[in-house]
Amino acid sequence: MTVDDMIRGVLTDHGRLAVPVESLADDTDLFGAGMTSHASVNVMLALEDAFDFEFPEKLLKKSTFESIDAIRGAVTEMAAG
Amino acid sequence: MNSVVPRGLRVGLDLVEIAEVADSVAHFGDRYVRRIYTDHEIDCCRRDGREGSGATYAMESLAARFAAKEAVLKVLRPVEWQPAWRNIELHRMTGGWCEIRLSGRAEELAAEEGLGGLSVSLSHEATLAAAVVVGWCSPRTRRNG
């Protein structure tokens, strides 16, 4: 399973989006697609479970979770240490 | 470049589905609770006095507090680095009402924006919790960039 598959899986399970995740482009605004702030907390925790790390405070901002592209960037940054 | 933060009232409003919070507690347990709420808030929302994974919570109270934290963010208007959720505390007073106490980045943002005291009102019914936060912004110059 690719990183993108894992991110899209987390969004399917926890994003509470108004549209199917498959219909989202990588740069689609997830908050515009219906994700609430509270749902973004669940996405954050589920990403930590999926990738086995803990987001540092500097990445806990809306822009980190605003699109699949942004999430991939944060996951890549975390993976690089 | 500098800009002037205009004087006046700022209002933040947020709604949270209580079931959504209950789902989060069920799925992520203590990790969700500890990431979002302060020790004081957890004590206020705990139903049975137990701690850790065995604790149960008044979900409507957790949901109202989350709504209040989000409403505070709408008043603070962070552009980049968002304060940690635990930097915004709903402190329950002995009379039963709540006051907002800020720390860390949230406290810094309030100072940068010239925000004086914030006032909050919480409410909930069967499925939804809501919070309104009002703050007074003093005129001041903010450095941009």
How many H helices and E strands in chain A? 3, 0
**Domain B2-143 class?**
alpha beta
Contacting residues of B for A57, CB less than 8 Å apart: 84
Helix, strand, or coil (residue A41): helix
- Say if residue B110's pLDDT is above 70: yes
Tell me what ipTM this predicted complex has.
0.85
At residue B142, φ and ψ (nearest 5 deg) are: -110, 135
Task: State which amino acid sits at residue A81.
Answer: G
Q: What span, in angstroms and rounded, lies between the C-alpha atoms of B92 and B8?
A: 27
Q: Across residues B102-119, what is the average pLDDT?
A: 92
Per-residue pLDDT of A38-55, as tens digits, reads: 999 999 999 999 999 998
Shortest Cα distance, chain A CAs vs residue B29, angstroms: 11
Give alpha helix (H) positions in chain B: 18-28, 30-36, 39-45, 59-76, 104-112
What percentage of chain B exceeds 90 in pLDDT?
A: 70
* Spatial CA neighbour of B142 closest among B120, B105, B115, B117: B115
Domain A3-79 sits in CATH at 1.10.1200.10
B31 touches chain A (CB under 8 A): yes
Domain residue ranges in chain A: 3-79
CA atoms within 13 A on the CB side of A31: 13
How many H helices and E strands in chain B? 5, 7
Contacting residues of A for B20, CB less than 8 Å apart: 16, 36, 38-39
A45 touches chain B (CB under 8 A): yes
Average pLDDT score, chain B = 89
Q: What span, in angstroms and rounded, lies between the C-alpha atoms of B89 and B38?
A: 7
CA–chain centroid gap for B123, Å, is 14
Q: What span, in angstroms and rounded, lies between the C-alpha atoms of B130 and B85?
A: 17
Nearest neighbour of A41 by CB, restricted to B36, B78, B80: B36
- Say if residue B145's pLDDT is above 50: no
- CA triplet A19, A20, A24: central angle to 5 degrees? 85
Helix, strand, or coil (residue A31): coil
Q: What span, in angstroms and rounded, lies between the C-alpha atoms of B59 and A19?
A: 27
Nearest CA in chain B to A60: B82
Question: Cβ of B16 and A38 within 8 Å?
Answer: yes
Strands B8-17 and B128-137: antiparallel
A63 touches chain B (CB under 8 A): yes
Assigned token pair, B133: 């936060």
B97 touches chain A (CB under 8 A): no
Nearest neighbour of A62 by CB, restricted to B28, B66, B82: B82
Question: Cβ of A62 and B16 within 8 Å?
Answer: no
Give me the residues of chain A with pLDDT under 50, please: none
A34 touches chain B (CB under 8 A): no
B81 touches chain A (CB under 8 A): yes
